[in-house]
C-alpha cells in the first residue's frame, strides 16, 4: 500500500489553486500532466479529502515546479525576520487590526457558529428543540448553504434543513417518511423510535457540477437505516434501504468518468451474514434495498423490494466466542479508505470489527475483496486470547482468514427499481 499523507489542516488546497493559476494551468491541464482525474484535482482544490496518496502529491508538485514540502506548507516570507524590531512593531499593529476586525466580525455575526441546538449565521440565529448531529456546507445557486441534520425528540421527528447562510432563511426541510419506512422495515421496529441524519455528504452523481446531498439516516433505537439522495431543492431522488446501520459514506469518482459513486460501509445484520457489508451506489443504481433471498426475512417487511445497487459485498460473521471478545456482536464495517491512485491494486480498503481491533480488507477496482489481514492490535489481542484459552482456536491464521474471506457474497444487481 502506498503512503498516505494527511492534507487536511495543511495549506495544500490553497497552494494548489494558487500555483495552478500562477502556472496558467486549467484543472484539466493539471489532470493531464499528473495522470489524475479532473474530479480528483477539483476535490483537492476544494479541500474535500483528509488524506492523499504521496505519489499523487509528488506528481502534482512536479507539475507545478515546487517541492512536496512547498506544496503543503503555508505560503510565507522567505527570510526569517522574527527578531527585528520592525517585525515586532508590525506584529503589534497587525494584531490590533485583526482584533478590531475580529470584534467587528463577532458583532456583525460574520461567521457560522454551530451549537448543540442552534446555529448563528450572518443572517440571524436559528434555535431548535432538538440536537444538531450532522452538518455540511455547500454553494447552491450561488448561495452559501448550511445543511444540518437534527435528531428527533418527543414532539418532533429528526429532520434535515437547508439554510441560506446570508439570510438565515430555511430553504427546505426534509423529514423521514415514516409511513413508507413502516412498509419497508418491520413496522414494530420503526415505531420503537425515530430516524435521524447520521451522515451528510456532498456527491455529484450525474457529473453536472452541481452537488447532490447523500444523507444516511439511522434509526435511534433499532437497526434499520437508509441512504437518500436529495437534490439542491430538497427533492428526494432515490432511496436505498439497509437492515443494519450505515457507518461510513464516502463519495468518490473511482473510475474517473466525472460522476461520483457512493461507497458505503455498513453492518449487514442478517442471520447468516453478520460480518459487515460494502455497498456501492451510482447515478443509475441507487434505489432498492440490501436484500436477498438468504437475508431478508425478519429484517424487511416489503420482500418485493429489489436490490439495484451497483455492487454489494457481504461478509460472513465470526463465531460468537470471537466477536464477544471483540466487544461487537456483529462485525461492523467502517473506515472506508479510497485510494486516488489508479495504478495501485488496493483501490479501496475498509476495516471490520471494532475500531481498535479490526480486520483490514482491500478491494480492487472492480470492488472485489482480494485479501484480509488483522490490524496489529487485533493480532496482538488474538495471540493473548489463544494463549490464555479464551478462544478455542486461532481465528487469525492465514488459513482461517482465507477460509473466512472465501465465504463472502458479492451482488451486482444493477437493475433499476424506482421507489
Span near Ca ion by CB under 5 A; candidates 5-13, 80-88, 104-112, 206-214:
206-214
| Closest listed residue to residue 377, CA positions, set 404, 391, 359 | 359
Torsion of CA 103, 105, 111, 117, to 10 degrees: 50
With binding defined as CB under 5 A, does residue 42 bind Ca ion?
no
When the beta carbons of 257 and 321 are compared against Ca ion, the nearer one is 257
Q: Map grid coordinates 486470547 to a residue.
A: 385
- Please compute, for residue 346, the number of CA atoms within 13 A of its CA located in the half-sphere on the CB side: 15
Determine phi and psi for 365, rounding to 5 degrees.
-70, -15
Convert residues 153-192 into a mask of x (bound to Ca ion by CB under 5 A) and - (unbound): ----------------------------------------
Span near Ca ion by CB under 5 A; candidates 26-34, 111-119, 189-197, 200-208:
200-208
With binding defined as CB under 5 A, does residue 255 bind Ca ion?
yes
- What is d(CA 33, CA 143) in angstroms, rounded to the nearest whole number? 33
With binding defined as CB under 5 A, does residue 206 bind Ca ion?
yes
Span near Ca ion by CB under 5 A; candidates 54-62, 98-106, 145-153, 197-205:
197-205
When the beta carbons of 206 and 292 are compared against Ca ion, the nearer one is 206
Q: Which residues contact 345 (CB under 8 A, 6 or more apart)?
A: 362, 364, 370
CB of 340 to Ca ion, least distance (A): 13
CB of 1 to Ca ion, least distance (A): 22
Determine phi and psi for 183, rounding to 5 degrees.
-90, -20
Span near Ca ion by CB under 5 A; candidates 7-15, 65-73, 102-110, 246-254:
246-254
Span near Ca ion by CB under 5 A; candidates 17-25, 89-97, 201-209, 345-353:
201-209
- What is d(CA 322, CA 64) in angstroms, rounded to the nearest whole number? 51
Strand order in the sheet with 132-140: 132-140, 143-150, 159-164, 170-174
- What is d(CA 340, CA 357) in angstroms, rounded to the nearest whole number? 26
Q: Strands 348-354 and 261-266: what pairing?
A: unpaired
When the beta carbons of 257 and 402 are compared against Ca ion, the nearer one is 257
Name residues contacting Ca ion, limited to 216-235 (CB under 5 A). Answer: none
C-alpha cell at 244: 443494519
Binder among 11, 13, 210, 284 for Ca ion (CB under 5 A): 210
When the beta carbons of 249 and 391 are compared against Ca ion, the nearer one is 249
Size of the site for Ca ion (CB under 5 A): 8
With binding defined as CB under 5 A, does residue 419 bind Ca ion?
no
Query: Helix crossing, 38-45 with 27-34: angle to 10°?
Result: 120
Query: Helix crossing, 38-45 with 12-22: angle to 10°?
Result: 120
Give, for 94, the enclosing helix (H) or strand (E): helix 85-108
- What is d(CA 339, CA 263) in angstroms, rounded to the nearest whole number? 12
With binding defined as CB under 5 A, does residue 208 bind Ca ion?
yes
With binding defined as CB under 5 A, does residue 62 bind Ca ion?
no
When the beta carbons of 131 and 237 are compared against Ca ion, the nearer one is 237
Q: How many residues does the chain have?
A: 419
When the beta carbons of 74 and 209 are compared against Ca ion, the nearer one is 209
With binding defined as CB under 5 A, does residue 204 bind Ca ion?
yes
Give, for 43, the enclosing helix (H) or strand (E): helix 38-45
- What is d(CA 63, CA 258) in angstroms, rounded to the nearest whole number? 22
When the beta carbons of 349 and 365 are compared against Ca ion, the nearer one is 365
CB of 139 to Ca ion, least distance (A): 13
CB of 212 to Ca ion, least distance (A): 5
Query: Helix crossing, 27-34 with 54-63: angle to 10°?
Result: 120
Span near Ca ion by CB under 5 A; candidates 40-48, 70-78, 203-211, 350-358:
203-211
Span near Ca ion by CB under 5 A; candidates 9-17, 222-230, 248-256, 379-387:
248-256
Binder among 188, 191, 257, 294 for Ca ion (CB under 5 A): 257
With binding defined as CB under 5 A, does residue 253 bind Ca ion?
yes
Span near Ca ion by CB under 5 A; candidates 155-163, 199-207, 299-307, 341-349:
199-207
C-alpha cell at 408: 463472502
Convert residues 76-95 into a mask of x (bound to Ca ion by CB under 5 A) and - (unbound): --------------------
With binding defined as CB under 5 A, does residue 259 bind Ca ion?
yes
- What is d(CA 348, CA 342) in angstroms, rounded to the nearest whole number? 11
- Contacts with Ca ion by CB under 5 A lie at 204, 206, 208, 210, 253, 255, 257, 259
Amino acid at each position: 500500500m502506498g503512503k498516505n499523507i494527511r492534507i487536511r489542516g495543511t495549506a495544500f488546497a490553497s497552494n494548489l489553486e494558487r500555483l495552478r493559476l500562477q502556472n496558467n494551468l486549467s484543472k484539466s491541464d493539471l489532470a493531464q500532466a499528473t495522470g489524475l482525474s479532473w474530479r480528483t484535482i477539483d476535490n483537492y482544490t476544494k479541500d474535500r479529502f483528509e488524506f492523499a496518496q504521496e505519489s499523487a502529491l509528488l506528481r502534482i508538485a512536479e507539475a507545478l515546479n515546487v517541492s512536496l514540502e512547498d506544496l503543503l506548507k503555508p505560503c510565507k516570507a522567505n527570510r526569517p525576520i522574527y527578531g527585528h524590531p520592525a517585525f515586532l512593531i508590525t506584529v503589534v499593529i497587525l494584531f490590533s487590526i485583526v482584533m478590531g476586525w475580529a470584534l467587528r466580525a463577532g458583532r456583525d455575526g460574520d461567521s457560522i457558529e454551530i451549537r448543540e441546538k442552534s446555529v448563528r449565521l450572518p443572517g440571524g440565529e436559528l434555535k431548535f428543540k432538538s440536537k444538531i448531529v450532522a452538518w455540511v456546507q455547500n454553494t447552491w445557486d450561488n448561495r452559501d448553504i448550511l445543511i444540518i441534520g437534527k435528531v428527533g425528540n418527543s414532539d418532533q421527528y429528526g429532520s434535515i434543513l437547508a439554510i441560506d447562510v446570508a439570510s438565515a432563511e430555511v430553504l427546505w426541510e426534509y423529514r423521514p417518511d415514516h409511513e413508507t419506512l413502516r412498509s419497508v422495515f418491520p413496522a414494530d421496529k420503526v415505531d420503537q423510535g425515530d430516524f435521524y441524519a447520521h451522515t451528510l455528504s456532498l456527491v455529484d452523481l450525474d457529473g453536472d457540477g452541481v452537488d447532490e446531498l447523500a444523507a444516511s439516516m439511522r434509526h435511534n433505537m433499532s437497526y434499520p437505516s437508509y441512504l437518500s439522495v436529495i437534490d439542491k431543492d430538497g427533492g428526494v431522488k432515490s432511496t436505498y434501504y439497509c437492515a443494519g446501520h450505515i457507518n461510513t459514506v464516502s463519495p468518490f469518482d473511482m473510475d474517473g468518468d466525472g460522476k461520483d459513486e457512493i461507497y458505503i460501509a455498513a453492518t449487514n445484520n442478517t442471520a447468516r451474514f453478520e460480518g459487515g457489508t460494502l455497498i456501492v451506489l451510482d447515478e443509475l443504481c441507487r434505489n432498492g434495498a440490501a436484500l436477498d433471498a438468504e437475508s431478508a426475512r425478519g429484517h424487511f417487511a416489503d420482500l418485493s423490494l429489489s436490490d439495484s445497487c451497483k455492487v454489494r459485498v457481504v461478509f460472513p460473521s465470526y463465531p460468537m466466542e470471537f466477536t464477544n471478545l471483540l466487544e461487537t456482536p456483529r462485525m461492523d464495517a467502517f473506515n472506508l479508505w479510497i485510494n486516488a491512485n489508479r495504478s495501485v491494486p488496493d483501490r479501496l480498503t475498509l476495516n471490520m470489527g471494532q475500531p481498535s481491533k479490526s480486520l483490514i480488507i482491500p478491494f480492487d477496482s472492480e470492488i472485489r475483496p482480494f485479501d484480509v489481514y488483522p490490524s496489529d492490535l487485533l493480532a496482538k489481542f488474538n495471540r493473548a486470547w489463544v494463549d490464555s484459552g479464551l478462544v478455542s482456536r486461532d481465528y487469525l491464521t492465514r488459513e482461517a482468514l482465507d477460509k473466512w474471506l472465501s465465504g463472502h457474497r458479492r451482488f451486482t444487481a444493477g437493475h433499476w427499481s424506482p421507489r
